[in-house]
Every structure is written in C-alpha cells, then in structure tokens.
Structure 1
C-alpha cells in the first residue's frame, strides 16, 4: 500500500491496484479566511499540481464537508462521474455539487475488492461537537494488503480506542495538529497521537493534518519530540512531509 500526503488530510491511497483520494483540499495558499487571525488558510501551498493529485484517481472519499476536507475548488474540478463515498447525511448536498455517483457509508461496503467499514469519530467532546458536526472514520481492507484505520477528524475517545483494540490495524492514520475551537480540542494532539501508538504496538501510525491551518497547536517537530520522549520512534510513528509517499507492505 502506498499513501501519499498532499496537504492537511488529503491523501492518495494506492491499494489492491486501485487509487483512492481522501478529503481533497485543493485551493491555493491563503485562499480562505483565517480561523484565529494568525493567517489566512490554507497556510501552505499544495506540493503538487491539481492534475497530478487527480491523476489515476478512481474513487473519492469525503469524510465530512468542512472546507479543509472538501473545498470549493475540489467540488468544482473533480470529475462529476467519479464514484464518491461520504458520510450519511451529506449525500444530497454533494449531489447538489453535480456529483452523480454518491454512496453514503452507512456501515460497510465493498468496491472492487476493497472493503470499507464506517468508524465512529467525535470532532471534539462536549458542546463543541454540535458546532463541528458529525464526522466519520473508516477501516480499509483488501486481500494481500495491510489493513488501515483512518481515524479522521476525531479526538481520542472510547470508540476510537475500541476500534483499534478490536480490529488491530496494520496502519493507523491520525489527524494530529491539535486544532482547537472555542478553546476545545477538536482533533488529536501530540499526546493523544502518542497514546494511539502505545495502544497499537503492531501498527505504523501515520500522523497527518498538520501545519496547514491556523487553528492548529501542534506542528511536526513538536509531535516528533513528544513521541521520541515517550520512546515511540520514527519507525512506529511516521510524520510525512507534504508531498511525501509512505509505503507499507503486509507483514
């Protein structure tokens, strides 16, 4: 399996001879407003052209409709006949953008030999969840490939812990920038990401969703220091740069 990080949560996953694109944010640097007054978003350029990002993509996965996961540029330029999987409740709005083949991931489905299973996520805890809205993660399995758990825009809370313990994935993708809204944590920070790695010694944890948005509180260097101090080395916790590809083979 190859996983290429573009920016924020946008990943191209090559698995079982197929190519998937997850949560595309394709807008130009500084094309959206700031969340905190620090900087317009996104704070960095894409590391590749939009054509390169879309090249070969056969399936689109959109976990939720926040702009940093499915922005107006992505909505406009991605071919409308591309099959798209989303969380339940978003399908009508996505069809309104012109996409013709939209399927909500209600529990699990199989697409060209790749099984996708919906996983619960919580975009924060307490009252902030109502402001953030519903999100999902997913597990991905295919014959001859490592299993993957993409946690998505969630904090570490019991359903995430239970998913990791029950499914024992080979790869876990975390959103680890420690973003905050109204002072509340809305995705994992460095401490929670390290706890994920501790809880899954069999897995490679790939931390993304970093250094792209101005409400983040954790950068790559901070996460690396926290992980090293906890004895979680770079062979266990991978922190790819924008544009970098990580390859993980089935053990």
Structure 2
C-alpha cells in the first residue's frame, strides 16, 4: 500500500495493485473565491500549487469523491478526468450531478462494494458539530480491505465522534487518513478534525499509523502542520501521527 498526499484532501492510494484518486481538487493556485465568513478572505483558493502534473495525478483505475464541496471536487477535476473512468460517490444525489456532467461509470458506495477484488466499505461522517452538521451536508469516508493488504480507513471530512470510534472498532484499521486542518467558519466551530480530535483517533487506534492531510491548502484552515507537530511531540505520539508535505508519500 502506498498513500501519496497531493494537496488538501486529494490523495492517491495504491492498494492491492490498483490506484485510487480520492477527492480531486485540481485547480491552479488562486482559481476560486475564499470560503466566506472565515479567515484569510484576501486569499483565493487553493492557497498552494499542485506538487505534480494533473496528468500524473489522474493516471488511476478509479476515483472516490466523498462529497462535492469545491475543495474535494472542482471544475478542473471535472475537465481533466476521462468521462468513462470508474467513479464512486456517496449517494444518489451526488451521482445524478456527476452523471449530468457527463460521467458514464458512476457508482454509489455501499458497505459491500467490490472493485476488482478490493472491498470498499462506505463509512459515515459528521462534517462539524451541532447545527454545522446539517449546514455542511452529508459526507462519507471509506474503508479498504484486501487479503494481501493492511486495512485502510480514509475518514473524509469528519470531526471525531462516536461514528469514527465505531468504524475503528469494527474494522481495526492499520492505516487511518484523517482530514486535519481544523477548518472553521467564524461561527459554528470546527468542520474537520483538529489536534484534540486526532488525539482521540490515536487513543482509539494506538497501533495504527495516522496520516493527517487537508492542511494549509484552503483559506479557512485553523491548524497548521507546525502546530500539529508540536502537539504530537508534547503527547509523545510522533511515531504514530504522520504529517505529510504536499507531494509526499508513504509505503506500508
């Protein structure tokens, strides 16, 4: 297994001989407006360039889109991806939108989806807390399983809550990818995991490697890589929590 962090939530997963692109935001730096009612209103998104060419990024066997917010699925991805590529989404609503965009091989993730001989298990998430959950909308994550690979859990845009604990208890993942920028609006609090959420993931899965992505790439981030590094050093869990730079990869 290889996890190649591209930018924000965009990763490429090599798993059991197949390559999956997850949550492609492929726009050039500064292409679209900042998320409103949040920090850095003077900066357009994305805040940073892609670390490699789009053609290299989209050279994959399938794509998984956890939800359709602009920092997970953008116009550049729509334009670059072949319309016949296998594309997994979380629900019928998202499938209808992508089919209207011309994609011909869209499938809704289930708890028993099979791609080739790889099991893909849709997981739930909560994209914030309190009223923000409804405002932010439905999201998902995915668990990868194969007899020749370690179990991988890509949590998606979620904070720590009992649903994440339930996924860890049910599947005992060895590798967990969390979206960890603590992204926020001025009102409503965290939309994805912050450092304390990551510590909860560690306590729930102390033997897993946790990869923290979705950092410093769109304007409403609140947790920097440096702050998270300092936190995990204080908690003495640096060997358990990995904080990749854009373009960095890990092999397990």
Q: Residues of 2 paired with 1:39 and 1:183: CA distance?
A: 21
TM-score by length of 1: 0.96
- The offset of 1:240, in angstroms, is 0.7
Partner residue of 1:240? 244
Q: Residues of 2 paired with 1:107 and 1:206: CA distance?
A: 23
- Is the 2:119–2:146 contact (alpha carbons within 8 Å) kept by the matching residues of 1? yes
The size of the alignment, in residue pairs, is: 246
Partner residue of 1:228? 233
Mind listing any 5+ residue stretches in structure 2 that lack a counterpart? none
Map 1:76-155 → 2, pairs under 5 A: 76-88=79-91, 89-155=93-159
Mind listing any 5+ residue stretches in structure 1 that lack a counterpart? none
- Is the 1:108–1:115 contact (alpha carbons within 8 Å) kept by the matching residues of 2? yes
Q: Deviations over 1:95-131 (max 9, x none)?
A: 0111000001132211111100011101011111222
Q: Residues of 2 paired with 1:144 and 1:236: CA distance?
A: 22
- Is the 2:180–2:212 contact (alpha carbons within 8 Å) kept by the matching residues of 1? yes
Does structure 1 residue 73 correspond to structure 2 residue 63? no
Q: Residues of 2 paired with 1:52 and 1:163: CA distance?
A: 32
TM-score by length of 2: 0.95
Partner residue of 2:20? 20
Q: Deviations over 1:104-162 (max 9, x none)?
A: 11322111111000111010111112221100011001121110011100000111112
Q: Residues of 2 paired with 1:115 and 1:218: CA distance?
A: 33
Moved over 2 A (4+): none
Q: Deviations over 1:65-104 (max 9, x none)?
A: 0010010110111000001000013100010111000001
Partner residue of 2:167? 163
Q: Residues of 2 paired with 1:47 and 1:79: CA distance?
A: 21
- Is the 1:191–1:226 contact (alpha carbons within 8 Å) kept by the matching residues of 2? no
Partner residue of 2:33? 33
Q: Residues of 2 paired with 1:225 and 1:144: CA distance?
A: 35
Does structure 1 residue 178 correspond to structure 2 residue 182? yes
Greater displacement, 69-78 / 190-199:
190-199
Structure 1 vs Structure 2 CA RMSD = 1.0
Q: Residues of 2 paired with 1:217 and 1:229: CA distance?
A: 19
- The offset of 1:38, in angstroms, is 4.2
- Is the 2:132–2:188 contact (alpha carbons within 8 Å) kept by the matching residues of 1? no
